[in-house]
Amino acid sequence: MIKRVRKAIFPVAGLGTRLLPATKSIPKEMITVVDRPLIQYAVDEAREAGVEQLIFVTGRGKAALVDYFDVAFELEATMSSKGKNLDVLAPSRASFGEIVTVRQQQPLGLGHAVWCAREIVGDEPFAVLLPDELMLGKPNCLKQMVEAYDRVGGNVVAALEVPESETHQYGVIDPGASDGRLTEIRGMVEKPAPGTAPSNIMLPGRYILQPEVMRELDRQETGAGGEIQLTDAMARLIGRQPFNAFLFDGRRHDCGSAAGFVIANLAMALEREDIAPSVRDYLQSSLSRSDGEGDRFA
The residues that touch ligand G1P, with contacts defined as CB under 6 A, are: 110, 130, 133, 170-171, 190, 202-205, 229-231
Task: Give least dist CB 258 to ligand G1P, A.
Answer: 15
User: For residues 234 and 176, is the Cβ–Cβ distance under 8 A?
Assistant: no
Q: In angstroms, what is the minimal distance from the CB of 51 to ligand G1P? A: 19
- The DSSP line for 6-55 is -EEEEE-----GGGTTGGGTS-GGGSEETTEEHHHHHHHHHHHTT--EEE
- Torsion angles phi and psi, residue 246, rounded to 5: -110, 115
CB of 188 to ligand G1P, least distance (A): 8
Cβ proximity to ligand G1P, 190 vs 216, nearer residue: 190
As measured in angstroms, the least distance from the Cβ of 293 to ligand G1P is 31
Number of residue whose CB is nearest ligand G1P? 171
Q: Which of 11/37 has CB closer to ligand G1P?
A: 11
Beta bridge pairs of residue 158: 246
Q: Of 143 and 252, which CB lies nearer to ligand G1P in the complex structure?
A: 252
Pick 42 or 230: Cβ nearer ligand G1P = 230
Angle between helices 141-152 and 38-48 in degrees, nearest 10: 30
Min dist CB 107 to ligand G1P, Å, is: 11
Closest CB to ligand G1P among 16 and 204?
204
| Nearer of residues 5 and 159 to ligand G1P, judged by Cβ | 159
Environment class of residue 12 by beta-carbon count within 10 Å: exposed (0-12), middle (13-18) or buried (19+)? buried
Of the pair 56, 170, the CB lying nearest ligand G1P is at 170
* DSSP structure string for 239-271: TTB-EEEEE--SEEEETTSHHHHHHHHHHHHHT
Q: What is the nearest approach in angstroms of ligand G1P to the Cβ of residue 63?
A: 22
Taking the C-alpha atoms of residue 151 and residue 163, their distance in angstroms, rounded to an integer, is 30
- Rounded Cα distance, 86 and 79, in Å: 7
Q: Shortest distance, CB of residue 230 to ligand G1P, whole angstroms?
A: 6
Q: Least distance (Å) from ligand G1P to the CB of residue 44?
A: 19
Q: Give the bridge partners for 188, in sequence order.
A: 173
d(CA 68, CA 12) in angstroms, rounded, equals 14
Pick 37 or 227: Cβ nearer ligand G1P: 227
Cβ contacts of 35 within 8 Å, gap of 6 or more: none
How far apart, in whole angstroms, are the C-alpha atoms of residue 107 and residue 62? 13
Rounded alpha-carbon distances, angstroms, from residue 269 to 39, 138, 186, 297? 17, 17, 39, 22
